[in-house]
C-alpha cells in the first residue's frame, strides 16, 4: 500500500489509545527512542504520552511520511510505519 498522508492519518486514528514504541530523529546523529501511548489525533499532528517522563510529545503525519519518525505497536512489535 502506498503511504500518503491520508493513509497515515487514518492508521494513527485507528490506533489511538494503543501503546507504541517510537524512534525519532532529533538532529545530527541524535535519535530518541521511547515507549508511549497515542493520546490524541488532530488534522495535522498527533500526540504521544510518555509515561516515564510524564510528558507529551507531538509529531506531524509528514514526519512519518518522510521517515523522521518510526512507530511500532508495543503489543506485537508490528511496524505501523
Span 19-54, pLDDT tens digits: 999 999 988 889 999 999 999 999 999 999 999 999
Residue 34 lies in a domain: yes
Give the predicted TM-score (pTM) of the model.
Answer: 0.89
Query: How far is it, in rounded angstroms, from Cα 3 to Cα 59?
Result: 17
pLDDT score of 14: 95
Query: For residue 1, what pLDDT band results from cuts at 50, 70 and 90?
Result: very low
pLDDT, position 81: 76
Q: How far is CA 37 from the centre of its chain?
A: 9
CATH of the domain at 69: 2.30.30.100
Domains identified in the chain, total number: 1
Q: Which residues form the domain of 43?
A: 5-73
Hey, which residues does 22 pair with through a beta bridge? Answer: 34, 71
- Cα–Cα nearest to 46, from 56, 35, 32, 31: 56
Q: How far apart are CA 70 and CA 5, in angstroms?
A: 15
Report yes or no on 81 lying in a domain: no
In 3D, which of 52, 32, 40, 34 has the Cα closest to residue 15?
Answer: 40
Amino acid at each position: 500500500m502506498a503511504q500518503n498522508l491520508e493513509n497515515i492519518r487514518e492508521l494513527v486514528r485507528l490506533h489511538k489509545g494503543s501503546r507504541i514504541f517510537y524512534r525519532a530523529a532529533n538532529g545530527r546523529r541524535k535519535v530518541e527512542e521511547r515507549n508511549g501511548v497515542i493520546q490524541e489525533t488532530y488534522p495535522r499532528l498527533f500526540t504521544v504520552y510518555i509515561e516515564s517522563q510524564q510528558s507529551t510529545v507531538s509529531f506531524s503525519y509528514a514526519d512519518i511520511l518522510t521517515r523522521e519518525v518510526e512507530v511500532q505497536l508495543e503489543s506485537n512489535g508490528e511496524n505501523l510505519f
